[in-house]
Structure 1
C-alpha cells in the first residue's frame, strides 16, 4: 500500500507480476479496480482481509474493460460482495450482464480446454447491480472522487479512472504494458498493447494525451503495477505506436504478413529494450514479450483490414 490507501494485488494470471488488480481503501470502504479471472477471486478476498475490510465493506467493483484478464472474474467476485455495484463502460456493461458473446469469442480463440484452465466459468452479473458511467462522470468512494473518461484505442469499451487524491490514473491497457523484469537503471520500460479486433492507433494516442492533460504523478497499469516518469513513458508509447503502424503498412498485402509483422515487432521491442539498458538477455526479453508480440501483430492486422473496408 502507498500513502493513498491503494493496494496492488497480483492476480497470479499466467505468471507472477503479469496481471494486477487494485484495491482502494477510503474511510473503511473499498473499491476494486479490475479483478483478473475467477482463479483470482480468493486473492482479492484475501487482500480485503489484509486491508482490514470485509466483503460487505466494498462499494464498487470497477472494470476498465471486459477483456478476460481484467474482468473475467467479475461475476464470481460480485457474488462475494453483497453491497457492491459493478461500474462499467457503456459498451462493456452488456457483456457483463450477458457474457455469452464474450465466452464464444474467447473460446474461438483459445479453445474450451484453455478457457477452463485460464479463466474458469464466466458468470453473469445481475443487471440491477451494474452501473454504467459516461465520459466525465464521477462516483464517490466514501467521499473520495473517482472520475471516468472514455479511452478508446486499445478497445472501444475502455475507460480509465482518475483518482485526484493520489493524482493517479488507473489505466487498464491504455498506457501500455510495463513489466518489472524489463526495468533498468533508467526506470520503467513500456510497450503499447493492441487488441485483436479493436486496435485504433490514432485514438490510442489521443487517449494517452487525455491522460497526460491531468499532469498525473502515477499510472497504475494492469500489466503491471505503478509507474512514474509519466511524460517519458508517454513519449515512448507515441514513438512505438507510430513504428507499429509503419511496420503494419510495410508488410500489408504480403502472403506471410502476420509472421513478418511479428518478427518486426519483436525486433522493435528488443532494440528498445537494449537502448533502455534492460538486464535480461535477448532470449529473456523475447520470453517476457512473446504473448504481446502475437497480440499486437493480430491487432495491427485487424486495424489494417478494417481501414481498407
Structure 2
C-alpha cells in the first residue's frame, strides 16, 4: 500500500511533465504500437469482408511465408534491395558530412542575424512536400522548357536517361534534408563550453585546430546516435523522393525503383495487402537487427556513446 501511495504522490508531483509527455505517448500508442497487431496480415491471404477489419483478419486464410516468397521471388528483388541500400548508405554518409560541416560553418558566423538568415534559408526546403519539389525538379529538367537545357543549349531527355538519376536523387535529397539535419549538430555545438575555445586561443590554436580538437570530438556522441538511428531505417526509402521527383518514369525504374515504390506499384496493380505488410515487416525486422548490431559494436569501443 505504501508503494502505491508513493507512486500516486509521484504522479501528482510530476503531473505537469506527464501532461507534456502525453501527446507523444498517445501518438506512439496509436501509430506505432497498436498497428503491430496488423503484422499478422503478413502471414495471411487477407481479404476484406463486410464484417469489418478485425473479422477480415480472423477469417483470412493462413499462408505462412508465401507473401514473403512472392515479394522476393521476382526478378526485381535484387534490384530494389540494392537501390534501397546504396541510396540510403549515400544519404547517411554524405548527409552526415555535409550536416556537420554546415553546422560548424553556421556556428562560426559572428553576425547572429546573418547566421539566422542562412539557417532559415537552409531549413525551409525540409518543409516542402515532395510533390512541390518534384515540380521544381521538372522546371529544371524538362526536355522542352527545362532551365538546364536552355542554359547549356543541350537537348537531353532527363526523364529517359537513367545514368543521370543517381546523382540527381542524391542531390535533391541533400538539398532538402541537410539544412534540417544540421540543426541537431548546431544545437550540440552551441552547448559546448566556451571556455574550452578561450583556453585553446590562449595556447595559440587556430580555428581549424579548435574545430578538429574540440568541436568534432565533443560532437562524436550525437553523431553516433544519429547514425545509429539512420541505420535503423536503411531498408526504408523516402517514397515521395523516388516516386514524385522522377515522375514515375518507367525508363528510370532501374535506378529509382526501391522497396517502397515497388510495394506501392504492386499493391496498386494486384491489391495484395498481405505482400505489402510482409514488406513492411521485413523492413522493420532488418532495421531492428541492424540497430542492435551497430549499437553492440559501438558499445564495445565506447560504452558512453551507445544508444543503450
Common topology (TM > 0.5): no
Structure with the larger strand share: 1
Larger Rg over CA atoms: 2
For normalisation by structure 1, the TM-score amounts to 0.21
